[in-house]
Chain A
């Protein structure tokens, strides 16, 4: 339906109409995003530091910034950490989100509403607010988490969670997953409600186990939602910035806890090395495109189908 009707209408309407309709969106995307990307590409080939910021001409140095990046072992450490963080957070978020969506289907109505309200509260929290609360919960001196763990008899009195990179990332993961699960859970749950109960009951009567019903009926039907949700999580978690930045604000050593977003920020705004920061941004952009290319391809296929 979606495919045949546009073709029929297209013949009757003047063919400049779609272009006119696209103009405002394209204009603002060109101005606010495409121009910066172009600037980024251009600047990444320049020697652009503090001196150039104050008016000195920037020299064209070709791909030297990229060469400098690729030969710096610290960058590879940051890239490795970011990829690991992204994969753990994205899979963790989607797994928990799907589990909660399935849970919503089987529990009593009152319990489901309670669960939805709980998730909704977390979803609605502005990032900066949420981070403030979590930093307070994990406060090494007065935080509730340390108090609770100490109560359980564990040695967590005045434990500083942000000092060690490993526990820093553990805290960051808890926060990111807490923030992102509601979106996944609601999207998948809404997808699940479109799976007809008749089909499920028929499968049950035919003796299909719960596991088989899930993999053979539910999973294929909610695949489009899962794909989009997973793609978005990967994109969002790879460029996680605010959470890491605000945790660093709360007293973590920045150099050993930087991920891609905060690293670019420090290169550019911190050290005023805009050329290098721009090259790094282009690198991240390529990385994201590579990571998500398979998803985009299958989304495009669904568009044609």
Chain B
């Protein structure tokens, strides 16, 4: 986490003129308040996950995890298929990320390094595809997967996720590829590099931040996706983690909902992403901007 903090701090030089005026003090106070408000639900989730349900449903909320334990986590892990879902989520997500990066990178290379017939139509199509309402398509996608026999299969879900993420990734990577001048590659070739050598030694390393940013974006989309998974992965042992969480909540609601266990289950689903996100965030935001700003 520290590494990402310093990176984000370094990437943004503070304005040189800095005087302590009442306005500035107020701005700092507001910023701290906003930070607390935004982080609070996450804190409250972890806090509740450590407390026994009897405490949670009493009239006075306990604002810190005093007298807490990890019992809720043990209960959440013990009840059913967390690890099966974890495995499904990992397979689907990693497949989607790798496929998406590969496909989107090739496409970005094509539209930023070549002018060809159909280029504008492709860019337009990419932009419009992002607007397709996923909720309007899932019935058709369900039919498609049913016809292919890919319902409840990680591969089927990974294909749909890849298609869903490719357009935005193409758009993002295109900014990076355009940012690396082709002249650089040509100069290397004049100096005796082969075409592929020039590409892998010169262009590829310069694109690494863009690939990381796009990869993270794809990872998060696939890991957190709920709607398509809800429709495609209906069998219990085919569930991804978000579906496992929903199932856990519903199972808990048939009895008296055990909020402590529900919060522990929520934390289990969220924690990997939060940790991962804090590590890579500096690269992600710079990637977003490079993709958006550079023509």
Contact = CB atoms under 8 A, between A and B. Distances in A.
Given A108-B28, A193-B12, A300-B123, A33 B114 contact: no
Contacts of A141: 57
A10 B114 contact: yes
Nearest to A121: B42
Interface in A40-68: 40, 43
Interface in A129-162: 129-130, 132-134, 136-137, 139, 141-142, 144, 147
Interface stretch (B67-75, B79-87, B204-212, B287-295): B287-295
B122 A22 contact: yes
Q: How big is chain B's contact interface, by range?
A: 35 or more
Main secondary structure of the interface of A (DSSP, over half): helix
Contacts of B218: none
A239 B224 CA distance: 17
A170 interface: no
A123 to B, nearest CB: 7
Given A36-B144, A303-B123, A13 B114 contact: yes
Interface in A155-200: 178, 181-182, 186-187, 189-191, 193-194, 197, 200
Interface string A25-49: 1101101110111011001000000
Contacts of A25: 103-104, 106-107, 166, 170
Contact of B159 (A28, A104, A130, A191): A28
Contact of B140 (A6, A37, A113): A37
B132 A33 contact: yes
A202 interface: no
Contacts of B160: 32
A264 interface: yes
A70 interface: no
Interface string A228-258: 1100100100110110011001000000000
A114 B31 CA distance: 8
Given A21-B110, A105-B15, A268-B139, A120 B281 contact: yes
A292 interface: yes
B136 A126 contact: no
A302 B127 CA distance: 14
Main secondary structure of the interface of B (DSSP, over half): helix
Given A6-B182, A22-B106, 20 more contacts: A2-B112, A5-B183, A28-B166, A32-B144, A32-B160, A43-B140, A105-B15, A114-B32, A115-B32, A118-B35, A118-B37, A123-B277, A124-B220, A124-B278, A126-B223, A144-B44, A147-B61, A194-B293, A235-B130, A268-B139
The 6 residue pairs across chains A and B that have the minimum distance between CB atoms: A281-B136, A36-B140, A32-B163, A118-B35, A124-B277, A190-B289
Interface of A: 1-2, 5-10, 13, 15, 17-19, 21-22, 24-26, 28-29, 31-33, 35-37, 39-40, 43, 100, 103-109, 111-130, 132-134, 136-137, 139, 141-142, 144, 147, 178, 181-182, 186-187, 189-191, 193-194, 197, 200-201, 204, 224-225, 228-229, 232, 235, 238-239, 241-242, 245-246, 249, 260-262, 264-265, 268-269, 274, 277-278, 280-282, 284-285, 288-289, 292, 296, 299-300, 302-303, 305
19 contacts: A8-B182, A25-B107, A39-B143, A40-B137, A111-B32, A118-B39, A124-B276, A126-B224, A129-B266, A132-B266, A142-B58, A186-B288, A190-B289, A204-B17, A224-B293, A228-B292, A229-B292, A289-B128, A300-B123
Interface of B: 5, 8-9, 11-17, 24, 27-28, 30-32, 34-39, 41-42, 44-45, 48, 56-61, 99, 102-104, 106-107, 109-116, 118-120, 122-125, 127-141, 143-144, 159-160, 162-164, 166-167, 170, 178, 181-183, 186, 220, 223-224, 226-227, 231, 241-242, 245-246, 249, 259, 262-263, 266-267, 269-270, 273-274, 276-278, 281, 284-286, 288-289, 292-295
